[in-house]
Amino acid sequence: MVAFGEPRVVMFGTGSKKGYTLVQLIETSCITAHFVEEFNDIYLDIFSCKPFSVRDALAVFKKAFCPKRVDTQFLKRQARHQ
């Protein structure tokens, strides 16, 4: 995955939803994350039109954040070709 431009990080929200949100464009789509301060939660989305290793992405996430628990969902979508 190759970054396109600089990431945008913004603090916003109220109450239990307050936290930082990150948006990083990549050549094949984007990576977004929301960090909820009140609960120390991270919600990460990787959307890419190019196939990538879910195992590698999870390993990078675990190394960077050292989570106590991880729940994952992987959705594979097929683009329609015309």
- The count of domains in the chain is 1
Contact 12/23 with Cβ under 8 angstroms? no
Residue at 81 is within a domain: no
Residue 2 class from Cβ within 10 Å (0-12 exposed, 13-18 middle, 19+ buried)? exposed
Residue at 44 is within a domain: yes
Structure tokens at 5: 């431009």
Q: pLDDT category, 81, cuts 50, 70, 90? A: low
52 vs 42, 64, 76, CA distance in Å?
21, 18, 11
Residue at 77 is within a domain: no
Residue 80: pLDDT over 80: no
Residue at 12 is within a domain: yes
- Which residues span the domain enclosing 25? 8-65
pLDDT tens digits, one per residue of 15-71: 888 999 999 999 989 999 999 988 899 999 999 988 899 999 999 999 999 999 999
